[in-house]
Structure 1
Amino acid sequence: MTERTQDQTLRIEAFAQQYLPGAVRLSQQAGWPHRPGDWAFTAAVSKGFVGIENGEVVATAFCSEFGDFCTINMIIVDAAMRGRGLGRRMMDRVIAAANGRGMSLVATADGLPLYEKLGFRATGEVVQHQGIVTEVPALPEGFATPRIATRDDLAAIVAMDRDASGADRSAMLGNLFDIATIRICDTGFAAVRDFGRGRTVGPVVARDAMTARGLIAASAATGGFLRLDTRPDCGLSDFLTAMGLSPVGGGITMHCGPARPAAKEFMTCALTSQALG
């Protein structure tokens, strides 16, 4: 009877600016470093939902739309609310918002069983590297110093990213110009911006590993806290560790629904964030 009464007091609403402080509280409770600006950047390209009980945000879930595909992210349930099926209800809501699109997410070990029940299947993993940059490597021999991109470069950036990700992320990439420094060369681009405990480099989209390393080196500064989310098959782990960025965990990449087109020329070597891919 108590659980039924509690469930009757809970409602799910569309995410709005007024819920931002409650969302930040939840991410802090979960041990995530996200600040209000980090939430706002994700929300700008997402359909977001919040669970509200007694006027307080007790759950969040976002569906970030990129053309025919989307990422499911920011799935958080207040510790005091777990065990009541709220996580499943929030996932049902964002899956409905995906409207048949292919869906990707990065799962924690705790969330994996629920996502598997909902039809998601593991496709790989993400490794998070972070720390104080102790050394910025010299740019690789033969690699020209990338220049700072302007909005005139947006079409080229979108094209490289679409090849690597299989998705149209033009709106998100356009928003990056407001909060990030983007460096570009003929063989890739990288964005660096404030995030969490310091700064993050991502996305890094490159034609080859040398370009990825060069873009990261050009985006880093000694003495600053830096984070990158990469994949083991990108071959950056030793390079990042040598910079002072230790591996500190990560997550399992999962997908459900129509598959994205395979990359042809470029690869995503570092994610924009675990939320946005």
Structure 2
Amino acid sequence: MTIFQPLDLRHLEGAVRLSRAAGWPHRREDWKLVVSISRGVVALDAGQIVATGIVTPFGGVGMVNMIIVDQNMRGRGLGRQIMERAMAQIHPAQWRLVATPAGQPLYEKLGFVACGQIRQHQGTVTDLPAVQTVRWATQDDMAGIADMDRDALAADRGSLLRALQGRGRIAIRPGKGYGVIRDFGRGRLIGPVVAKDLATARDLIAFLAHGLTGGFIRVDTTEESGLGPWLAEIGLAEADRAVAMQTDDARPTGAFTRFALAAQALG
């Protein structure tokens, strides 16, 4: 019999095994970051975790993420059950998620509509020149960084930014944009990157990746950002695609743009 429990740190090892079986690169530390700012549900069968679902509150926006069902348990409605139980924990004005092809039909049944394309780029970067007009952020910069992020996403991701401070490094061009690099999966992930223009986004990524020649880096970007061709030029080829989805047609209208995601789980 399948039982459901609130997801907490006790479940991380089982969650990592589940995501690895699904071909996801997430380490225990990657799961722990998401869990630390979220609420989640696990499904257990014979004492083993067979499904997970998480929701992350960002003010008026809720991100649905880490929806995984064990391959041997699919086709039984478990994906819908775990997702509905997770979503019942918070009540945002708008829901968002990034869908795999396998999950998209379920999300459409639950009222999500496609609103954009996500491009996963990864590889080993070329030798990038130093960027003098970007610097490492300090605590005094964090309020401005939160403002830029809120403008770009129309969501309050303060909890995420605070968590990233302790897990990575944040670069800033004051008043123009910021970016983060941290350990993730097979190497490092650059994101979020939020900027006023494409040139600033490229400079932020070049600053973050400088000195990491030959190291594995991943960047998840939106198709409309225009960042993809340059990422390919510096050695980060497109490796996969996904679909951004949400429950209404409201879009951010601020002066800043999200050029790279914090992760597909976190937008």
Partner of 1:3: none
| Corresponding position: 1:237 with 2:228 | yes
Partner of 1:170: 158
Q: CA deviation at 1:19?
A: 0.5
For residues 24-47 of structure 1, what are the alpha-carbon distances to aligned partners after superposition, in whole Å with 9 as ceiling and x for unaligned?
A: 001100100000000011111111
251-260 or 37-46, which deviates more: 251-260
Conserved? CA contact 2:169–2:182, under 8 Å: yes
Aligned partners of 1:153, 1:174: CA distance in 2, in Å? 12
Q: CA deviation at 1:138?
A: 5.7
Aligned partners of 2:51, 2:45: CA distance in 1, in Å? 9
Q: CA deviation at 1:257?
A: 4.7
Partner of 1:259: 250
| Corresponding position: 1:59 with 2:51 | yes
What is the identity, as a one-letter code, of the residue corresponding to 2:69?
V
Conserved? CA contact 2:62–2:92, under 8 Å: no
Aligned partners of 1:80, 1:101: CA distance in 2, in Å? 35
| Corresponding position: 1:204 with 2:204 | no
Conserved? CA contact 1:145–1:218, under 8 Å: no
Partner of 1:274: 264
| Corresponding position: 1:17 with 2:9 | yes
Mark the CA change 1:138 to 1:237 in structure 2 (over 3 Å): closer, same or farther.
farther
What is the identity, as a one-letter code, of the residue corresponding to 1:43?
V
Partner of 2:128: 136
1:218 to 193, 201, 207: 207
| Corresponding position: 1:72 with 2:72 | no
Partner of 2:109: 117
Conserved? CA contact 1:151–1:177, under 8 Å: no
Aligned partners of 2:263, 2:148: CA distance in 1, in Å? 18
What is the identity, as a one-letter code, of the residue corresponding to 2:5?
E
What is the identity, as a one-letter code, of the residue corresponding to 1:259?
A
Q: CA deviation at 1:235?
A: 1.1
| Corresponding position: 1:33 with 2:21 | no
1:157 to 145, 148, 171: 145
For residues 214-271 of structure 1, what are the alpha-carbon distances to aligned partners after superposition, in whole Å with 9 as ceiling and x for unaligned?
A: 00000112111000000111111121111110001120000015835x2321000000
3-state SS of paired residue (2:65): strand
Structure with bigger gyration radius: 1
Q: CA deviation at 1:101?
A: 3.0
Aligned partners of 1:80, 1:36: CA distance in 2, in Å? 23
Partner of 2:182: 193
What is the identity, as a one-letter code, of the residue corresponding to 1:160?
M
Aligned partners of 1:241, 1:138: CA distance in 2, in Å? 19
What is the identity, as a one-letter code, of the residue corresponding to 2:146?
V
Conserved? CA contact 2:113–2:248, under 8 Å: no
Aligned partners of 1:252, 1:110: CA distance in 2, in Å? 11
What is the identity, as a one-letter code, of the residue corresponding to 1:16?
D
Name the % identity: 48
What is the identity, as a one-letter code, of the residue corresponding to 1:121?
V
3-state SS of paired residue (1:97): coil
Aligned partners of 2:253, 2:204: CA distance in 1, in Å? 20
Conserved? CA contact 1:71–1:105, under 8 Å: yes
What is the identity, as a one-letter code, of the residue corresponding to 1:173?
L
Mark the CA change 1:267 to 1:41 in structure 2 (over 3 Å): closer, same or farther.
same
For residues 120-177 of structure 1, what are the alpha-carbon distances to aligned partners after superposition, in whole Å with 9 as ceiling and x for unaligned?
A: 00001100000011232564xxxx4311112221111100000000000011101111
Structure 2 stretches lacking a partner, 5+ long: none
For residues 78-111 of structure 1, what are the alpha-carbon distances to aligned partners after superposition, in whole Å with 9 as ceiling and x for unaligned?
A: 0111111100101111221232431100111111
Aligned partners of 1:93, 1:172: CA distance in 2, in Å? 23
